[in-house]
Amino acid sequence: MPELIDIHVHHITRVEGHGNITIRATDGKVEQVEWQVPEAPRFFEAMVRGRRWEDIQTIVSRICGICSVAHSLAAVKAIEDAMDLVVSSQTEQLRMLALYGEFIESHVLHIGYLAAPDLLGVKSVLPLIASQPELVKVIMRLHRLGNSMMEVLAGRRTHPVCFCPGGFSHLPKPADLHTLRAQLTAALPDLQVLADAVYGVKEMLPDFERDTEYVALVDRGTYTFYHGNIGSSDTTNTVAVQKFKQVANEYVVPQSTAKWAKWHRESYMVGALARFHLNAEHLYPVSAELARYFGLTRTCFNPYMNTVVQLVETAHAVEHSLELIDVLLTSGITPERPHVIAKAGWGAGAVEAPRGILFHSYAFDDNGICTGANMTIPTNQNHANMQQDLEKLVPSIISKPEAEVRQLAEMLIRAYDPCISCSTHYLNVEFV
């Protein structure tokens, strides 16, 4: 009797949205390995066509519940590019602070609620409340900090309302920044507690490597999330954000309703590992020390380590936020009102979202009406890389018990922190 392994992970858990993994093997010979995304397309690009330039941010902020600052900022940067708007350094500092809030919230969510159960051998975060109550409290405090930063900087816990092309519609008060400063300072010891907890189970992260191309924003002298051009581990040349389509080269495959992407190779990876590879020397002191603590080097090609790099980036976000707040409090918040004269044009904007580089572009007519839009999201850029990783991983583990093969494959996908649907929420219930 041939030994058959037939794994169908329908709707992998602890990721956002719907993705499936299919693995078939007979007598140790792998016959099929597929990462599939079956979700219906959302048509957000079509929804903004015909809308005025000042309405775009409000609409795209609703695409995702955890990347809403990133979507909003990519949009306002693209609109500013299209209309030749220049923003103040104060605006950029405040936007970066809001983006850091989103990174802290999203990374802590992934590390604490989604990845930690894998490392601690439980099915969800719920059992941890009884077994590790102090750790759960730390995770909740850090998660709440991210929410608080977005509330102060973006005007809401999510779906920002304060960002607009040219600047801000509402500015934070100095007292709010002082409060945030105290919360951020208190977060550093909490981060060490979280780091120690992850370090204690780091042997649960599989020892798997596959050389790949890393793609992220790069900017001179900074570990950038907001400024710069598109960089790659495969070339020393950088590409202007306006040429992002030459990087993503999106294409369709039969197994997925989501687009895939490739640049110099068959696939590339975006996200924390990619940013770390391209910008690690610019980490702030505490985050650099955390990277050393985990033995991370720029040549790490283990996708499971993406979660650890998210922890490092969370520390960087806290450290840089403290510096930005000090600058803002020292210089004082200057009242500014954006003044925009709409005009025809095309522009592109990019920011790093928690799960990787995000591109938006828009075209406008003379009246500032949107005539075309493109949103190239990070998870779509990672799909091909996830497939390539699975194709290398599965033959190397196929002799293990089926449940373990399944677990390692699921952990691999979760390590990318994919955000697939970015939209639906509704309850589906029956009365009891």
Partner 1 sequence: MTVRPIVLIGLGNSLLGDEGIGVSLVQALSAEFAHHSDVECIDLGIAGMALLHILDGRRKVVLLDCALMGEQPGACRRFTPKDVRDISTSSRCSLHDGNLLDLLALAGEIGGLPPEVVIFGIQPESINASLTLSPTLQHKFDEYMTKVRNEVRRTMVSTAAANDDLSCEGSDNPMNRNDVTAQPC
| Interaction site with partner 1 (CB under 8 A) | 10-18, 42-44, 46-47, 59, 62-66, 68, 105, 109, 113-114, 123-126, 129, 136, 140, 143-144, 147, 156-159, 419, 421, 423-432
In this complex, which beta carbon is closest to partner 1, that of residue 48 or of residue 390? 48
Min CB(12)–partner 1 separation in Å: 7
Of 9 and 324, which CB lies nearer to partner 1 in the complex structure?
A: 9
Report in angstroms how near the CB of residue 31 gets to partner 1 at its nearest: 26
Any bridge partners for residue 369, and if so which?
A: 52
Query: Count of alpha carbons within 13 Å of 392, Cβ hemisphere only?
Result: 15
- How many angstroms separate the CA atoms of 21 and 406, rounded? 9
Tokens of 102: 């989103």
- Choice between 43 and 341, CB closer to partner 1: 43
DSSP string, 165-198: TTEESS---HHHHHHHHHHHHHHHHHHHHHHHHH
Nearest distance from residue 13's CB to partner 1, in Å?
4
Strands (E), 138-265: 163-164, 167-168, 213-218, 229-232, 235-239
Kindly tell me which of 45 and 289 has the beta carbon lying closer to partner 1: 45
Phi and psi based region of residue 231 (left: phi greater than 0; alpha: psi -120 to 50; beta: remaining): beta
Q: In whole angstroms, how close is the CB of 205 to partner 1 at the nearest point?
A: 20
Nearest Cα to 421, choosing from 253, 260, 310, 257?
A: 257
Closest CA to 418 of 81, 96, 19: 19
Nearer to partner 1 (CB atom), residue 62 or residue 210: 62
Residue closer to partner 1, measured from CB, 140 or 397 = 140
Q: Tokens 């990519």 sit at which residue? A: 74
Nearest to 256 by CA among 20, 45, 64, 7: 20
Least distance (Å) between residue 84 CB and partner 1: 29
Q: State in angstroms the smallest separation of the CB of 47 from partner 1.
A: 6
